[in-house]
Structure 1
Amino acid sequence: MDVLDWLLDSDPAIRWQVMRDLIGTPADAVQAERNLVATHGWGARLLQLQGAGGQWDGGTYWPAHDDDPDSQPWTATTYSLLLLRDFGLDPASREARHAITLVRDNSRWEEGNQLFFEGETEPCINGMTVALGAYFGEKVDSVVERLGRERLADGGWNCEAESGSTHSSFHTTICVLEGLLEHERSTGGTSQSRQARERGEEYLLERALLRRKSSGEVISPDWLRFSYPTRWFYDVLRGLDYFRATGCSPDEHMREAAEVVRSKQQSDGTWLLENTHPGKVHFALEDGDGQPSRWNTLRALRVIKWFDGS
């Protein structure tokens, strides 16, 4: 089967993005397919798992009951909403408005007991909060302002800054950048938030998206292995897909990372799932590590298409 046919033979969450990003399907047909996310497949299934009180699995960041102390569970409200955003659930749909109203009015953070869209304390989580709030039409300006104040001197962010860390983290920085970009798309941002995002991008680019600035060494071999869902973890495919989403032109700082992505394509045209992050999930989206991944294939193909300008 042709790789595009294989991608289209899947869930509406993938199909509409393939139609938009890889095939160039007319916008009305893309929107019609996107509308199915709320009522069919993974999106509908995930929406049905939201509790009457607005939360998934009884918690905002942590489920009410964590049965596996050795891994982080991914079933609480934050990561469930991140999946719905990845799926492309239309924020204006009746189903999205119902789900988000329940979250806005009822879901409170375990750290501080404040309402969901008021944000948490760690910048990585607040980056997710901003991405979700901006995408679903909720006001998160105060969280954006806080993130601007918390940027470190080297240009990025680190959840360990409160513990004394003075060096940024790729993991935290990519979460914040995705949030700031979504906020700019929704509101136009502020001069401060746009400047913070630009400086955060420079932090990644100065390191070629994968290398230490001091020594030139690859920072982590895990960043060369692709996961989905990415959760809070960085890898070079996630980094490149962020820059693609900004609409910027590729540059030489990204070339090595792009070649890493290109090198991972299999002979049948697919990319594999390589680095699943352990933890409790609602349901599987892929067949497991070492198997062809529709999510990674979609993301890699659109990154290469953007990088090559084709």
Structure 2
Amino acid sequence: MGKAEDDPEVQAAKELIPKKGWAADVLVRQNSKGWWVGAESLYQPKYLSTNWMLLVLSDLALTKEDPRIERACDLWIRRYSRAEGGFAIERDKKAHLCTTGNMARALVRFGYADHPDVARAFEWFVEHRDKNGGWSCFGSGRNLDSWEPMSAFAVYPKKKWTEGMKRAVEAAAEFYLQRELHRQGDHYEPWYRFHYPTHYYYDLLVGLDFMTALGYGDDPRLKHAFTHLKEKRRSDGRWNLDAIHPDVEGSIAEWYAKHPKHAPVPFGIEAAGKPSKMITLRAMIVLERLERAK
């Protein structure tokens, strides 16, 4: 943190990413044609197949300069991009909001910001937003869980934003701020735990990450979330990984209990309940943005 992209240490570290550690462990399991687990579905099984591996690798700073990333991304785009915009989760289905948000974010990070299908995905967000701000996944009504478009805009170059995109982000940001990132419906404890990988799940650190990246770190309505983040810091300055998804309660947990064959397979790169490099890094980035916003 705090070093320029062209710093020799940064460049040396980036060169090591695909060669050793977490990214190397994921890449070694990739098929030579670009997929993980199976070629028929790039989305199933959760959370081991191509979709989920790409999300993790995008968090680990890999780009399409690595031919393995390029093969996987090109395969995904060819199969799941839709002419009307967005990305689906199966060959014969319409674009899906949460998947489009996650993959748009990942593809931008991988270096596909100029790809026409990625550009259409961001236009698709504008066309499918709630008129009062925010988005809805599976038509369930706008909610905090439908955070993926905001995380995609957080990494999309501002020079590419249309006026419609600006209005969509501003309205969605107000939706989150009005709720202080957590006030919606009954108290839901998993939102207050920190997770990695996040997949399509929301928690307060997820919210703070995209809101501060979008420039809202100085809004006083984030005070509760920032306080929660600071209180969870360990005495040694680090943060724990609280749980690995699926970390769910209520009706979702009940449904998985009744349909165990449909329950996702957990995937983690760190142990739950212990200090986490991924959580600590994200928390420190969020707090650094807060300081810059003051």
Alignment TM class, shorter chain as reference: 0.7 to 0.9
Tell me how far 1:261 sits from its aligned partner. Answer: 0.4
Separation of aligned partners in 2, 1:202 and 1:248 = 10
CA RMSD of aligned residues (A): 2.6
**In structure 2, what is the equivalent of residue 269 of structure 1?**
237
The residue that corresponds to 1:203 in the other structure is 175
The CA distance in 2 between the partners of 1:277 and 1:29, in whole Å, is: 33
CA distance in 2, matches of 1:77, 1:225: 26
Structure 2 residue corresponding to 1:60, chosen from 42, 48, 61: 42
Q: Which aligned runs of 4 or more in structure 1 are off by greater than 6 angstroms?
A: 23-26
Q: What amino acid sits opposite 1:211 in the alignment?
A: R
Which ranges of structure 2 fall in alignment gaps of 5 or more residues? 82-87, 247-263
| CA distance in 1 between partners of 2:95 and 2:6 (Å) | 42
Out of 47-56 and 221-230, give the one that drifted further. 47-56
1:17-48 residue CA offsets vs partner (Å, 9 max, x unmatched): xxx25x77973321221221122221122122
Q: Which amino acid aligns with 2:287?
A: I
Looking at structure 1, the residues matched to 36 and 178 of structure 2 have their Cα atoms a distance apart, in angstroms, of 39
Amino acid at match of 2:42: T
CA distance in 2, matches of 1:48, 1:99: 13
Give the secondary-structure state (helix, strand or coil) at the position aligned to 1:158: coil
- AA aligned opposite 2:131: A
Distance of 1:78 and 1:25 partners within structure 2: 28
Aligned to 1:45: 25
Cα displacement (A) at 1:197: 1.6
TM-score (norm 1): 0.76
Tell me which of 157, 161, 166 is aligned to 1:194: 166
CA deviations 1:38-90 (Å, max 9, x no partner) are 22221122122222332211121113xxxxxxxxx211111111101111113
Aligned letter for 2:90? E
Note closer, same or farther for the CA distance 1:209–1:301 as it changes in structure 2 (3 Å cut). Answer: same
- Structure 1 residue 155, shift from structure 2 partner: 0.5
Match of 2:285 among 302, 305, 309: 302
SS in 1 for 2:157: helix
Match of 2:134 in 1: 156
Distance 2:282 2:154 in 1: 18
Change (3 A) 1:184 1:56: same
- Aligned 8 A contact 1:35 1:90 in 2: no
The partner residue of 2:271 within 287, 290, 304 is 287
Structure 1 residue runs of 5 or longer lacking an equivalent are 1-19, 64-72, 115-119
Q: Say whether the 8 Å CA contact 1:128–1:179 is kept in structure 2.
A: yes
Residue type at the aligned position of 1:285: I
Tell me what 1:181 maps to.
Answer: 154
**132-141 vs 194-203, which deviates more?**
132-141
- The one-letter code matched in structure 1 to 2:271 is D
* Equivalent pair of 2:89/2:99 in contact (CA under 8 Å): no
Aligned partners of 1:53 and 1:106 also within 8 Å: no
Deviation at 1:94, TM superposition (A): 4.2
Query: What's the CA shift for 1:125?
Result: 1.1
Q: Would the aligned equivalents of 2:34 and 2:71 in 1 still touch at CA under 8 Å?
A: no
Q: Is the 8 A contact 2:35 2:72 kept in 1?
A: no
Is it true that 1:111 corresponds to 2:93 in the alignment? no
Residue 170 of structure 1: SS of its match in structure 2?
A: coil
In the alignment, which residue of structure 1 is the partner of 2:142?
168
* Identical positions, percent: 28
Change (3 A) 1:189 1:48: farther
Equivalent residue for 1:33, pick from 5, 9, 13: 13
Q: How many residue pairs get matched?
A: 264
Matched, 1:145 2:145: no
Q: Deviation at 1:243? A: 2.2
1:126 pairs with 2:100: yes
Q: State the AA in 1 paired with 2:57.
A: L
- Give, in angstroms, the shift of residue 236 of structure 1: 0.9
If the length of structure 2 is used for normalisation, what is the TM-score?
0.79
In structure 2, C-alpha distance between the alignment counterparts of 1:61 and 1:27, rounded to whole Å: 37
